[in-house]
């Protein structure tokens, strides 16, 4: 049986990374700054419903020497400027290549992806060099399936 590794790693996104309640806290900014640069929005988009998984919760610092423990995003429950009530956000640190892609700019123009500064303050949609992108996720109609929680060690 072939284990869908990509799905498992991306599912860790919502389960094994810091989920924080207020975006303007130093802890939230620290978690976002520790993110590795992300070159593709598609994997994060596929895992977006996992932001509403029961496994999404605040966790202690994850050891970064374990490859699967390097999160692709930070789940924010609230407090992010521009985030509507009831939605959650997946904050990523984009590469320049990701920002230059026409598909990324089209998603930003749709309004469900916002640009943010180092302090997570909201930037205009045409800001030339944002530090972070936030994918705004609406609550799914049914509980998300396939989201994996971090195993206890």
Residue-range domain boundaries for the chain: 5-137
149, HSE (Cβ side, Cα atoms, 13 Å): 11
Kindly indicate the confidence band of residue 31, based on its pLDDT and cuts at 50, 70 and 90.
confident
Percent pLDDT > 70 in the chain is: 70
Query: Which 3 state secondary structure label does DSSP give 89?
Result: strand
Contact 17, 75 (CB under 8 A): yes
Q: What is the pLDDT of residues 56-106, one digit of tens each?
A: 655 445 555 656 556 778 888 888 888 888 899 999 999 999 999 999 999
Could you tell me which residue, 65 or 29, shows the higher pLDDT?
29
Question: Do β-strands 74-76 and 19-20 pair in parallel, antiparallel, or remain unpaired?
Answer: parallel
Rounded CA-CA distance 21/3 in Å is: 33
Most confident range, picked from 4-18, 57-71, 119-133: 119-133
- Is the model's pTM score more than 0.85? no
């Amino acid at each position: 049986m072939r284990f869908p590794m990509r799905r498992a790693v991306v599912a860790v996104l919502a389960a094994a990374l810091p989920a924080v309640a207020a975006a303007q806290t130093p802890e939230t900014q620290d978690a976002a700054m520790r993110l590795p640069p992300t070159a593709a929005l598609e994997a994060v988009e596929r895992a977006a419903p996992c932001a509403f998984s029961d496994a999404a919760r605040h966790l202690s610092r994850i050891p970064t020497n374990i490859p699967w423990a390097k999160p692709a995003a930070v789940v924010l429950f609230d407090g992010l400027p521009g985030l509507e009530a009831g939605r959650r956000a997946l904050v990523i640190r984009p590469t320049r290549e990701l920002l230059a892609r026409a598909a990324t700019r089209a998603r930003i123009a749709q309004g469900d992806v916002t640009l943010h500064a180092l302090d997570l303050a909201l930037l205009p949609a045409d800001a030339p060099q944002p530090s972070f992108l936030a994918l705004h996720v609406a609550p799914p109609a049914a509980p998300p399936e396939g989201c994996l929680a971090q195993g206890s060690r």
